Chain A
Amino acid sequence: MNHYETLFVVKPTLTDEETKAQIEKNIAIITDNGGEIVAIDDMGMRKLAYPVEKNERGYYTVVYHKAPATLIAELERQMRYNEDVLKFMTVKYAKKKEIAQYDKMVAAVVKKNDAPAAQPKQEEAPAPEATEPAAEPAKEEA
């Protein structure tokens, strides 16, 4: 069993229930193949940094799990076939330091999930955007 973290992005065009079903489906692949879920971080709908299959947004989920190596191949194969999954990536945490970090991230996720009250403030804050311009035009000609 290794420590893994799998991030996947579900299409924004699905309804809430369909999105939920997709997430559960992917989690089921892990549990059905001998994996063990450690924590689930629901990052929610986010703007993608660049369009993926013409979608501007996506629903991010991060699953922390322990699994045998063979599971990852199967998981990635199924996600590749799944048209509702725009992006996915699995990261393995193997070294001692990485595992320490893994435990830290899991703890942070668990804490976040336990305190759902803090959740909704993310949307409103109109993002400080004053920092950007100034230096930009100078290097335009490059």
Chain B
Amino acid sequence: MAERRKFKKRYCRYCEQKVEFIDYKDLNLLKFSLSERFKIMPRRLTGNCKRHQEMVTVAIKRARQTALIPYVVDRKNVVDNPFELIR
């Protein structure tokens, strides 16, 4: 619920910025679509359009594979300062 409120006004931020392609190394672009625990946020909460959601999904998975962002953040697997990774 807390997350829902954050995204009340729904529109695609990538369309707004006229993003044509999402580079997996550009963490600032991925940030919009990640939850606090680095899960991929669903489209119904972020308001991303389908086209951009598909792009960002691929990009996030690539970023995870290259250790740019974590796969999971939980009690066993704590990131001391998760926002240090996304500057």
Contacts and interface: CB of A to CB of B under 8 A. Distances in A.
Interface stretch (B7-15, B40-48, B61-69): B61-69
Q: What is the size category of the interface that chain A forms with chain B?
A: 20 to 34
Nearest to B67: A48
Contacts of A117: none
A49 B83 contact: no
B60 to A, nearest CB: 12
B16 interface: no
B66 A127 contact: no
Nearest to A89: B66
Contacts of A131: 83
Interface string A114-142: 00000000000101110110011011000
A46 B86 CA distance: 12
Interface in B1-55: 2-3, 20-21, 23-25, 36
B23 A62 contact: no
A9 interface: yes
Interface residues of B, number: 25
Nearest to B84: A127
A89 B65 contact: yes
B67 A135 contact: no
A9 B33 CA distance: 25
Contacts of A87: 65-67
B85 A49 contact: yes
A50 interface: yes
A46 B66 CA distance: 12
Contact of B79 (A7, A9, A49, A136): A49
B66 A7 contact: yes
Nearest to B19: A101
Which 8 pairs show the lowest CB-CB distances between chains A and B? A101-B21, A48-B67, A49-B70, A135-B2, A49-B67, A49-B69, A50-B70, A127-B84
Interface of A: 7, 9, 43, 46-50, 52, 58, 62, 86-87, 89, 91, 97-98, 100-101, 105, 125, 127-129, 131-132, 135-136, 138-139
Interface of B: 2-3, 20-21, 23-25, 36, 62, 64-71, 77, 79, 81-85, 87
